[in-house]
Amino acid sequence: MDRRDLAWYVDRVAQALVFVGGISAIIFILGIFVFVTKEGLDFVLGALDPGEFFTSIAWRPTSNNPTYGALALMVGTASVTGFAMLFSVPLSLGAALYIGEFATGKTREALKILVEMLAAIPSVVWGFVGMSIMNPLIIETFDVPVGLGVLNAGLILGLMAAPIMTTIAEDALKAVPDTYREAAEALGATRWEVIRRVVIPASKNGLLAAVLLGVGRGFGETMAVLMASGHAINLPTSPFDSVRALTATIAAELGDTVYGSNHYGALFTLGIFLFLVTFIINLTADVVVRGIRKK
């Protein structure tokens, strides 16, 4: 066997290994679905009452007569994520525009690094910040008895989701060819006019993707929401109300369940629900972005 032959075989083997690595992401995402479903399936087919699950707020898995209504948990997740996005989306897109289009040199580098640092703070630290710094601050500022609730968790979550949105949005702005900008500037447009009339319209698919990823991040956040939301089953009527999120419920309760019990199955069912919703969000984002790109 001459040298060239060996190289050819090595090439084939390498290609096969790399291919296995390539499809690993598909294997894992299927694996997640299969294994989470496997643990929750008995409950879904047995004790689960879909009507109760989606319309009742009574999540009482440990009572003598257990009920598994997840509505309050869904509302809890939605209210915290919604509140977070309310301020985080405009701030993040604004920051992306400033960093991507206005800032130059050292300022730009410094801001980018700070945004990266924001992204690096672990969620458990955010949760701790919510409990120990924001909580007293909210109690004092708004004169309310408890500072753990929609406001606290929403602010924390908004800050946590901001770096992803900022980074992805900035990438989208960067992807707009400089020739577009130069053409507009040659016509006498100011930088802001270039941004408003050329850059934003040209990058709107990327900006939309950024927002969707931010929503997904907020939706799935666990530790920070668990620690900062108050974790009380409640349909919130004010930003100061405590709520409980889907993710936080699993994190708080799984450790106390008996393997194979209905409670155990119910928590995995919440997991299936979370998986499906995030999957749909991501799929929609992909389809929407692709559709816009085609046009």
The SS3 of residue 234 is: coil
Query: From CA 270, how far away is CA 281, in angstroms rounded?
Result: 16
Residue 138 engages other proteins in binding (rule: CB under 8 A): no
Q: Which of 42, 78, 193, 239 binds other proteins (CB under 8 A)?
A: 193
121, burial (CB in 10 Å: exposed 0-12, middle 13-18, buried 19+): middle
Of 144 and 251, which has the nearer Cβ to other proteins? Answer: 251
Count residues contacting other proteins (CB under 8 A)? 91
Tokens 């009507």 label which residue? 51
Residue type, 76: G
Q: Which of 61, 149, 216, 265 binds other proteins (CB under 8 A)?
A: 216
* 128 closest CA partner among 37, 22, 224: 224
Q: Which of 128, 146, 174, 261 binds other proteins (CB under 8 A)?
A: 128
Q: Which stretch binds other proteins (CB under 8 A): 50-58, 67-75, 179-187, 245-253?
A: 245-253
Tokens 């968790």 label which residue? 153
Q: Which of 54, 86, 114, 140 binds other proteins (CB under 8 A)?
A: 114
Of 117 and 235, which has the nearer Cβ to other proteins? Answer: 117
Residue 10 engages other proteins in binding (rule: CB under 8 A): yes
Residue 183 engages other proteins in binding (rule: CB under 8 A): no
b/e 232-263 (16+ beta carbons within 10 angstroms → b): ebbebeebbbbbbbbbbbbbebeeebeeeebb
Residue 220 engages other proteins in binding (rule: CB under 8 A): yes
Chain center to CA of 243: 18
For residue 161, the minimal CB distance to other proteins (Å) is 11
The SS3 of residue 206 is: helix
Query: From CA 161, how far away is CA 81, in angstroms rounded?
Result: 10
Residue type, 107: T
Q: Which stretch binds other proteins (CB under 8 A): 44-52, 57-65, 87-95, 146-154?
A: 87-95
Query: Binding marks (x or -) toward other proteins, 49..68, rule CB under 8 A?
Result: --------------------
Q: Which stretch binds other proteins (CB under 8 A): 57-65, 142-150, 192-200, 234-242?
A: 192-200
**Between 204-220 and 150-174, two packed helices, what is the crossing angle to 10 degrees?**
150
Residue 221 engages other proteins in binding (rule: CB under 8 A): yes
Query: From CA 274, how far away is CA 280, in angstroms rounded?
Result: 10
Q: Which stretch binds other proteins (CB under 8 A): 44-52, 54-62, 85-93, 138-146?
A: 85-93
Residue 282 engages other proteins in binding (rule: CB under 8 A): yes
Within 65-84, the residues that bind other proteins by CB under 8 A are none
**Between 204-220 and 71-97, two packed helices, what is the crossing angle to 10 degrees?**
140
Residue 232 engages other proteins in binding (rule: CB under 8 A): no
